[in-house]
Structure 1
């Protein structure tokens, strides 16, 4: 007979699993949600699988492949569909070949024999085959959000001659400011993980190795030579707002700029889409020689984002 204590423990674990799934569900998009989103849209990104002996990489792209590439790298958890609002934007479609990618360990993307890929270097290297999709003969723009930001930076450092601009939004890049929450340790519980989506378990594995991985890539920051933009929200509960201070200290490029949005949270690519668009389309701040901008609350409200 099953003991009451065992039953109670099992129910508690199931409750925790359900709670964790609920916490992270807003950062993931299901296939059903994607189908519903594009059901009535005239333009839908095309999904591709890039495959070789060791790698399976799922990407979605929209826009002519003869246009300059805009490569979008998601955080943890996340997926390529987390950038649907950018991929759907008509102005961006007209000016970029937009390519959003599932990082290895998420969606259909995999590295052979590896369940989770926590190495920032391996994550960045796994994205290199995407460059073959660039038919424009022009350098690409790389945008990484949250945990995708240091991967974007590492990627840019691997092929600096092919990257026109690096944009990091809500970056988690300071190895001394990794945030942990009440539920973080429960996400590592083997029994609870049985009831969690694979992407959540991958994200947990990344979180507990992230600080050490960030320390490994410390040398890249001073070597970034391309125009680099860092955008940070003051009300970001996932990425410590002081990550922007780390960026200012370690990025030595004279073509770097920093934008601090006092009232913004973590999902700046959604809440400040028009600002992101302007940055991508015109690069106005770089051309004007502005290196640091702090947007006060009043300005954020009046911007209409």
Structure 2
């Protein structure tokens, strides 16, 4: 009888692990899927590892590094490959040095800590770990930073650390309101140590972030008050991960006079996929305008 109960418990654990993995499989892209995706493409992003004594940061880049940088920061769970559609876009490639990065704890990105911690849940630590990415660009132009979901507050914190290097901050489907953190029926099971044995490592990292996220967002409150770079916040009305009221939080707390807020009534969480053309137009508009002005010869006027 005891053996039967152990078998039942084991079966339930496997079933839960399978259910949890299925829920977020769209955000987890395997190396096999990446190879298949780029098998017949002429241009594939270049993979690079930034290393120092404490950091190992994996990035994928496409486009000439003398063009202005477009830095892409993923959510949780997620990876740098979650922005393949942006990296693959020829128009964007022609105008930007596109860099997508694995945040520490995801993919091959790691951070050595003085105190041994299994997961890096600090928004500030995550943000500071991304700063070396700026050295990859040789355009002498400011960077556009785009963060999605859990990557949005990390992007905002990073921008606050080096505002002089940033042209614009774009937050898509942001999870930034500490009072609106969503939990689901499966959230507590994701913390079960036995269940975690059968889950992808990135999923376990995302779970650790989720249970510390509200407290981390409270630490971020002063950042919004002092955010003065041009900022765009985009939110979908049918988003089941980021509560649509996150847009209201942004309106209330972001003090930048150069901010805009876009609410897409019927959009879900994955706006960078469902509204790619809108994102493209937004990114290209200021860059194309700058190139047009630069091309005008005013020397004889």
TM-score bracket for the superposition, by shorter chain length: over 0.9
Q: Any stretches of 5+ residues in structure 2 without a counterpart?
A: 291-301
Tell me whether 1:42 sits opposite 2:51 in the alignment: no
Tell me whether 1:202 sits opposite 2:193 in the alignment: no
**What's the Cα RMSD here?**
1.4
1:115, CA displacement in angstroms? 2.6
Large movers: runs of 4+ above 6 Å: none
Tell me whether 1:154 sits opposite 2:129 in the alignment: no
Correspondence for 2:191 among 163, 188, 191? 188
Correspondence for 1:241 among 229, 239, 244? 244
* SS of equivalent to 2:252: helix
Counterpart Cα distance in 1 of 2:213 and 2:67: 34
Tell me whether 1:14 sits opposite 2:17 in the alignment: no
Tell me whether 1:169 sits opposite 2:172 in the alignment: yes
1:2, CA displacement in angstroms? 5.2
| Superimposed CA distance per residue, residues 237-258 of structure 1 (whole angstroms, 9 cap, x where no aligned partner) | 0000000000000001110000
1:110 counterpart residue number: 110
1:154, CA displacement in angstroms? 0.2
1:181, CA displacement in angstroms? 0.2
Q: Any stretches of 5+ residues in structure 1 without a counterpart?
A: 288-305
2:96 counterpart residue number: 96
> How is 1:1-80 mapped onto 2 (pairs within 5 angstroms)?
3-80=3-80
2:271 counterpart residue number: 268
User: In the comparison of the two structures, how many residue pairs are matched?
Assistant: 286
When the two structures are superposed, what TM-score results if normalisation uses the length of structure 1?
Answer: 0.92
Counterpart Cα distance in 1 of 2:69 and 2:2: 58
When the two structures are superposed, what TM-score results if normalisation uses the length of structure 2?
Answer: 0.93
Correspondence for 1:131 among 130, 134, 144? 134
Correspondence for 2:182 among 179, 184, 194? 179
Counterpart Cα distance in 2 of 1:274 and 1:146: 19
1:9, CA displacement in angstroms? 1.1
* SS of equivalent to 2:170: strand
* SS of equivalent to 1:238: coil
1:3, CA displacement in angstroms? 1.9
| Superimposed CA distance per residue, residues 250-292 of structure 1 (whole angstroms, 9 cap, x where no aligned partner) | 00111000000000000000000000001111149xx9xxxxx
